[in-house]
Structure 1
Amino acid sequence: MLPGIRGLRLDVTEVRAKFKYDDHKPAEQRADTARRLTGRGQGLDASAAAQQRRRLDRTGTWNA
């Protein structure tokens, strides 16, 4: 069975990702997510945190 094993090496050249805004999560958890993104401060964390806060302001403090 050993001749049937194959190896593969991949070089990542691009990454596409999206941020999922969980509006169904409690307001406290959404605010904590924005706080942690701001604290981490990498890449697009600041803009994602700002958007999370805007969505939180728009939807309010209701819990699903």
Structure 2
Amino acid sequence: MVPPFPISARLVCDTVYGFQSGDTCFDLAKASNLTDKGFLDINPNLNCDDIFVGQWICTSGKLAA
């Protein structure tokens, strides 16, 4: 498996959000003006099938070398 970005890249998260009851990854990606892929790229360890209330996720960020 090839990572979607260089291993030496690090995530710089500008905005975080705590999941609330009823939230889904798809809805948060859309609300953050991100594609599903872009949302998962800035949340590489997020498992959308196993999210919990209060879990912090990045809603705005970039990969820095």
Range of TM-score over shorter length:
under 0.3
Bigger CA radius of gyration:
1
Q: Which structure dedicates a bigger proportion of its chain to helix?
A: 1
Q: Which structure dedicates a bigger proportion of its chain to strand?
A: 2
TM-score by length of 2: 0.27
Answer 1 or 2: higher relative contact order, Cα 8 Å, separation at least 6: 2
TM-score by length of 1: 0.27
